[in-house]
């Protein structure tokens, strides 16, 4: 290249017919080589895409000879002329397929071992190679176009979120990673202190108390895109270190906060190329449980419908339905009646559960045509919709859980939809259906510890009209807590907080913490509440989950650059590792 005149560096994927006649410099990796003997084609790949380079022995034998050394993933700098391709040689499948670069110089910047897995397979690439191999060589996996796109998408979404908050007057403030263990909720990751042997920092599960302290500190609108850490078992949508969009504001109005978040999410979706409609539907927790059997409903599917009142008395007797018990109809659009075999597959879902399944709606239509018609009407069912009914088993006692049947129906609703999603184009990944779920219960009964525990967290304010229940019937108290849900996935969770010291102390007592314990754990916070704490509230949203859904990915790991396995291991760097005892001694730590 030294003897070639300097040309303007360009990205391969951005070449168009407008560049014809220009001399360009491309730098990137050898994606694929097609050696036709005296004619050799290279697909050069950079982070934008591919461009075809031509080496012609007849025109420049030396250069062609050098190009025969090229192998997959060699790093090259190529100068050449952009030329148009004839219709016969253009490649309509490639964005840059109308042009190619006739090389005038070739610099081999580095060679490469043959990659342990192909980086240049065009279709279904993400599913073809085992994740184990991909993670071990993540730096190679990241070169693949689909991963480049995911990183780019995450960047675009993150920038849009920052802009949206900035435009609303929110201040991004960093909070400590090395903080105090609060053995409430998830397990903490601990960091030993060398200066204070025997003492430990904890990595934050969330900056919850810090953001509340920022409100007390007068920053009335705060946000942070921040890493959080939870030492709990992993799932496809859960990672031990994950990124939250953390938000808090003073003098909050729940509706105003919803609008701010909706606008931010709308901007984030637009950055990913999707327009969503505002405002999101709002559903109380109770409504969500009754209509969907879950606190994170997937609105891409129709709700559950209680059709018990449609059943005439004699039919109810023949079908052995319990009086006053719900009869829940699950409708899955467009799936059609199930085959015998598919119905057989459903039955295990009911086995061992106090549930009766009517999986063959055709039989109901035969025996009770009027009832079937009424049900279809109430469900606004179309021909070809699958309808399955659930009732409590005849012997079942009314459960303590008033939504037990709804929960079962919800599980069935999702299982059916997922089973037939592909065949019938259900659960469209590009259909983004957000909603707010509000008024969660304050407490859940923790049978193991035989005490109440917070459904959200202990800093959550009760609904004003339910404060009286705190002393009389905590199970009935509802919270000013809300979730934002997207396509059946909990995207974010927040609440209006407690800003009065007395109420906060009462909640701690209700959670079984006496005043001494509360002071020992949260004394700094209780103190702070006494110095003029403004009313405040906020929310935290999972950035990884949002980007995962916008990317159409099935796992959070597809949008995390360097993720860990289900056992929280980094296969690439092999972490965690044992450490040398000489590292432990100064920390005052000995292994058992």
Partner RNA sequence: GGGGACGUAGUUCAGUUGGUUAGAACGCCGGCCUGUCACGUCGGAGGUCGCGGGUUCGAGCCCCGUCGUCCCCGCCA
Residues engaged in binding RNA (CB under 7 A)? 32, 34-39, 41, 43, 52, 54, 56-58, 71-72, 85, 88-91, 93-94, 97, 100, 114, 116-118, 121-122, 128-133, 135, 182, 184-186, 205-206, 208, 230, 232-238, 453-458, 555, 557, 565-567, 569, 571
Complex with RNA: residue 198 or 352, whichever CB lies closer: 352
Q: How far is the CB of 210 from RNA (least distance, A)?
A: 10
Q: How far is the CB of 171 from RNA (least distance, A)?
A: 21
Complex with RNA: residue 94 or 219, whichever CB lies closer: 94
CB 399 within 8 A of CB 354: yes
CB 534 within 8 A of CB 216: yes
Complex with RNA: residue 144 or 557, whichever CB lies closer: 557
Q: How far is the CB of 43 from RNA (least distance, A)?
A: 6
Q: How far is the CB of 411 from RNA (least distance, A)?
A: 9
Complex with RNA: residue 280 or 522, whichever CB lies closer: 522
Separation of alpha carbons 556 and 235, rounded Å: 9
Q: How far is the CB of 38 from RNA (least distance, A)?
A: 4
Which tokens sit at 146?
């689909």
Complex with RNA: residue 141 or 262, whichever CB lies closer: 141
Closest CA to 166 of 243, 226, 223, 244: 223
At 300, phi and psi to the nearest 5? -75, -10
CB 180 within 8 A of CB 193: no
Which tokens sit at 22?
């220009």
Collapsed DSSP state (helix, strand, coil) of residue 428: coil
Q: How far is the CB of 567 from RNA (least distance, A)?
A: 4
Q: How far is the CB of 29 from RNA (least distance, A)?
A: 13
Burial (Cβ within 10 Å: 0-12, 13-18, ≥19) of residue 121: exposed
Which run of H or E residues covers position 543?
helix 543-551
Complex with RNA: residue 111 or 377, whichever CB lies closer: 111
Separation of alpha carbons 414 and 433, rounded Å: 15
The CB density around residue 336, as the number of other CB atoms within 10 Å, is: 14
Collapsed DSSP state (helix, strand, coil) of residue 157: helix
Q: How far is the CB of 183 from RNA (least distance, A)?
A: 10
CA distance to 404, 476, 572, per residue, from 518 (Å): 35, 24, 42
Complex with RNA: residue 209 or 299, whichever CB lies closer: 209
Complex with RNA: residue 109 or 569, whichever CB lies closer: 569
Separation of alpha carbons 416 and 487, rounded Å: 15
């Amino acid at each position: 290249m030294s003897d070639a005149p300097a040309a303007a560096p360009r990205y391969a994927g951005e070449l168009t017919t407008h560049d014809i006649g220009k001399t360009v410099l491309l730098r990137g990796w050898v994606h694929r080589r097609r050696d036709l003997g005296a004619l050799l084609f290279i697909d050069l790949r950079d982070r934008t895409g591919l461009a075809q380079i031509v080496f012609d022995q007849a025109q420049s034998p030396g250069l062609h000879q050098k190009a025969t050394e090229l192998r997959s993933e060699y790093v090259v700098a190529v100068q050449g002329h952009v030329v148009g391709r004839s219709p016969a040689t253009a490649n309509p499948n490639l964005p840059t397929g109308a042009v190619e670069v006739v090389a005038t110089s070739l610099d081999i910047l580095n060679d490469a071992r043959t990659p342990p897995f192909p980086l240049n397979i065009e279709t279904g690439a993400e599913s073809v190679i085992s994740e184990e191999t991909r993670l071990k060589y993540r730096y190679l996996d990241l070169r693949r176009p689909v991963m480049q796109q995911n990183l780019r998408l995450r960047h675009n979404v993150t920038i849009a979120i920052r802009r949206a908050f900035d435009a609303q007057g929110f201040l991004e403030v960093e909070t400590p990673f090395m903080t105090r263990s609060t053995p409430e909720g998830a397990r903490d990751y601990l960091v030993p202190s060398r200066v204070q042997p025997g003492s430990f920092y904890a990595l934050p599960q969330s900056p919850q108390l810090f953001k509340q302290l920022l409100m007390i500190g007068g920053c009335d609108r705060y946000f942070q895109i921040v890493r959080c850490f939870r030492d709990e078992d992993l799932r496809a949508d859960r990672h031990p270190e994950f990124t939250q969009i953390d938000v808090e504001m003073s003098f909050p109005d729940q509706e105003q906060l919803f609008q701010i978040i909706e606008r931010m999410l709308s901007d984030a979706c637009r950055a990913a190329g999707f327009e969503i409609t505002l405002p999101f539907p709002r559903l109380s927790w109770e409504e969500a449980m009754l209509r969907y059997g879950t606190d994170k409903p997937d609105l891409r599917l129709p709700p559950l419908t209680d059709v018990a009142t449609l059943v005439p008395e004699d039919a109810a007797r023949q079908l052995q339905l319990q009086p006053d018990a719900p009869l829940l109809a699950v409708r899955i659009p467009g799936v059609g009646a199930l085959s015998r075999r598919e119905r057989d597959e459903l039955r295990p879902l009911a086995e061992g559960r106090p549930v009766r399944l009517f999986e063959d709606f055709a039989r109901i239509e035969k025996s009770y045509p009027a009832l079937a018609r009424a049900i279809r009407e109430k469900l606004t069912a179309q021909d070809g919709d699958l309808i399955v009914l659930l009732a409590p088993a005849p012997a079942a006692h009314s459960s303590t859980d008033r939504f037990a049947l709804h929960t079962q129906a919800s599980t069935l609703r999702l299982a059916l939809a997922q089973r037939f999603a592909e065949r019938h184009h259900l659960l469209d990944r590009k259909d983004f259906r957000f909603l707010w779920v509000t008024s969660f219960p304050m407490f859940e009964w923790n049978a193991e510890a035989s005490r109440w525990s917070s459904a959200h967290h202990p800093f959550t304010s009760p609904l004003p009209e339910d404060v009286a229940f705190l002393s009389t019937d905590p199970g009935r108290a509802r919270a000013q807590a809300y979730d934002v849900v997207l396509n059946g996935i909990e995207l974010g969770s927040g609440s209006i907080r407690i800003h009065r010291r007395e109420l906060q102390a009462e909640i701690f007592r209700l959670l079984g913490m006496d005043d001494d314990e509360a002071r020992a754990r949260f004394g700094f916070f209780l103190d702070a509440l006494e110095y003029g704490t403004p009313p405040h509230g906020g929310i935290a949203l999972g950035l990884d989950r949002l980007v995962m859904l916008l990317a159409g990915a099935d796992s959070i790991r597809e949008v995390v650059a360097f993720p860990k396995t289900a056992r929280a291991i980094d296969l690439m760097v092999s972490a965690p590792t044992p450490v040398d005892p000489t590292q432990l001694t100064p920390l005052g730590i000995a292994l058992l």
